[in-house]
């Protein structure tokens, strides 16, 4: 069963470890923090920043990933979606899709957003497939838009409007509940 809980002070080391995971780092845009002091500074700033909100993804009660929204104080009423499953054994088993549905419900019901958007490296099939399943639409393709570790990569822009999620959420949540990934709604 997948659930979300608020990010808390006790998660600082967990996020540091997950962020070093090669299969996570490969798909994220920035390099991981080089030392704990930098990471802790980022983490402490995150926790008291009203523009950002983070949740730990729980699988059967155990932390397995992190998702967060950025841009919550913007007058644009849209937020940037960022996420990863940090525990390698939890990837590819539906935790991402389930956490995404729970996170989108929070995003649209708690923060008055009209849109959630994300940028995904081309070739990141798990992310692209999971986001398409929730109803995200492709809004752009940016060539050679990302540069990391000496490599340029293309980036896919995705967006999901509030009414698109409202229209889709019933089916998505039902399928996840039938699969035992979330509690019945």
Ligand X SMILES: CC(C)(COP(=O)(O)OP(=O)(O)OC[C@H]1O[C@@H](n2cnc3c(N)ncnc32)[C@H](O)[C@@H]1OP(=O)(O)O)[C@@H](O)C(=O)NCCC(=O)NCCS
Stated as kind and residue range, the H or E segment containing 62 is: strand 62-70
Q: State which residue, 44 or 62, has the beta carbon closest to ligand X.
A: 62
State in angstroms the smallest separation of the CB of 79 from ligand X: 14
- Helices assigned H by DSSP within the chain: 12-20, 22-25, 36-47, 95-110, 125-134, 162-178
Q: State which residue, 2 or 161, has the beta carbon closest to ligand X.
A: 2
State in angstroms the smallest separation of the CB of 34 from ligand X: 19
Strand partners, 17: none
Task: List interacting residues with ligand X (CB under 6 A).
Answer: 23-24, 27, 83-85, 91-97, 118, 120, 124-127, 129-130, 133
State in angstroms the smallest separation of the CB of 75 from ligand X: 25
User: How far from 140 is each of 15, 121, 150, CA to CA, in Å?
Assistant: 30, 12, 24
State in angstroms the smallest separation of the CB of 30 from ligand X: 11
Q: State which residue, 129 or 138, has the beta carbon closest to ligand X.
A: 129
Q: How many CB atoms lie within 10 A of CB 2?
A: 25
Q: State which residue, 108 or 136, has the beta carbon closest to ligand X.
A: 136
């Amino acid at each position: 069963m997948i659930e979300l809980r608020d990010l808390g002070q006790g998660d600082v080391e967990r996020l540091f470890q997950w962020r070093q995971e090669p299969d996570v780092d490969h798909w994220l845009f920035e390099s991981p923090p080089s030392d704990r002091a930098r990471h802790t500074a980022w983490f402490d700033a995150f926790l008291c920043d009203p523009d950002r909100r983070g949740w730990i993804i729980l699988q059967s009660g155990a932390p397995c990933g992190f998702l967060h929204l950025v841009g919550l104080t913007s007058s644009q009423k849209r937020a940037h979606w960022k996420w990863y499953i940090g525990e390698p054994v939890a990837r590819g088993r539906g935790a991402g899709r389930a956490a995404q549905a729970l996170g989108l419900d929070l995003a649209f019901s708690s923060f008055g957003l009209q849109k959630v958007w994300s940028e995904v490296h081309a070739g990141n099939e798990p992310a692209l497939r999971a986001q398409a399943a929730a109803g995200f639409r492709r809004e752009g393709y940016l060539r050679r838009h990302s540069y990391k570790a000496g490599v340029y990569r293309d980036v896919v822009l995705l967006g999901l409007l509030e009414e698109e999620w409202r229209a889709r959420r019933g089916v998505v949540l039902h399928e996840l509940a039938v699969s035992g990934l979330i509690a019945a709604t």
